[in-house]
Structure 1
Amino acid sequence: MAKSDPLLTVLKLANEAEEQASLQLKSAQLHFQKCQSQLDALRNYRLDYMKQMESHHGKTISASYYHQFHQFVRQVDDAITKQILTVTEADNQRKHRQLFWQEKQQKRKAVELLLEHKAKKAEKVALRLEQKMIDEFASQQFYRKRTR
């Protein structure tokens, strides 16, 4: 029974590592999209709130209402600033996972290429051996015919 090629084990491990990296990349992409959506929602909420205040333009509003409005807008702005940082971190993580996945993909392709070269080399050796056997058989036939 022929032993299996150790490169096949390496290929299996490389495939598993690439698949794991792919899952991590997908997770990072989803997290980034979720963070970006939350940022967009905060920005839209702020815009809607500002439009609501604009609708009071020309009307008399109390100082306390005006103060509460500005205080609330500051809180929303702080939340937006924090969310921008979260989006940036999520994007950095996504980019890191993208590079990691690409590295794993390159390693898998390199192992596949090695296996391909090894198979071609083995095929050439087998063809040379087969040709040698055919030549030997032909020369024995020729020798037998001459000795009769």
Structure 2
Amino acid sequence: MATKDPLFTVLKLAKDAEEQAALKLKAAQFEHQKRLNQLQALRDYRLDYMRQLAAQQGQPIRADYYQQFHRFVRQVDEAIKQQLAVVAEADRQKQHRQQHWMEKQQKRKAVEMLLEKKALQRQQRADKQEQKLIDEFAAQQFLRRKLTNGI
């Protein structure tokens, strides 16, 4: 009887939805981390480039080299700015996926709780029925003894 309960179908669907949400969350977390790594690589690249200039301090630098250097640094800064926006979007996507997964998890848990409640109610009914049968059997035995001893 319990296996024919439509809630088992609902539970399976809820578990499947939660699993899909978890996979999407994992992908969003991976994408966010990938974007963060790219941002850090850009920052490291800029830092290395600045160190190269600092290492040349005290040495004569051609004006065109200096202008080219600053132009390149501005381009790297712009790339960092753009990457920050990409990281922010990846973070928003990750947060959205996490919220979605949590909602699916709550739905699954609610269905499981309903099934547990129904199972508990079935068990309580069965226990009452069993107790009723035991009581009837004891009453019949009592009456038989009374009749047997009374005759």
TM over 0.5: yes
Q: CA deviation at 1:57?
A: 1.2
1:80 matches 2:100: no
For the residue of structure 2 that corresponds to 1:59, the secondary structure is coil
1:71 matches 2:40: no
Aligned-residue Cα RMSD (Å) equals 1.4
Question: How far, CA to CA, are the matches of 1:100 and 1:2 in structure 2?
Answer: 30
Aligned length: 148
Match of 2:135 in 1: 135
TM-score w.r.t. the length of structure 1 is 0.94
Moved over 3 A (4+): 144-148
Q: CA deviation at 1:3?
A: 5.9
1:57-83 superposed Cα distances (whole Å, 9 cap, x missing partner): 122121111111111101100100000
- Tell me, which stretches of 5 or more residues in structure 1 are unaligned? none
1:9 matches 2:9: yes
Of 48-57 and 38-47, deviating more is 48-57
Question: How far, CA to CA, are the matches of 2:136 and 2:77 in structure 1?
Answer: 88
- Tell me, which stretches of 5 or more residues in structure 2 are unaligned? none
Q: CA deviation at 1:50?
A: 0.6
Match of 2:90 in 1: 90
Of 33-42 and 113-122, deviating more is 113-122
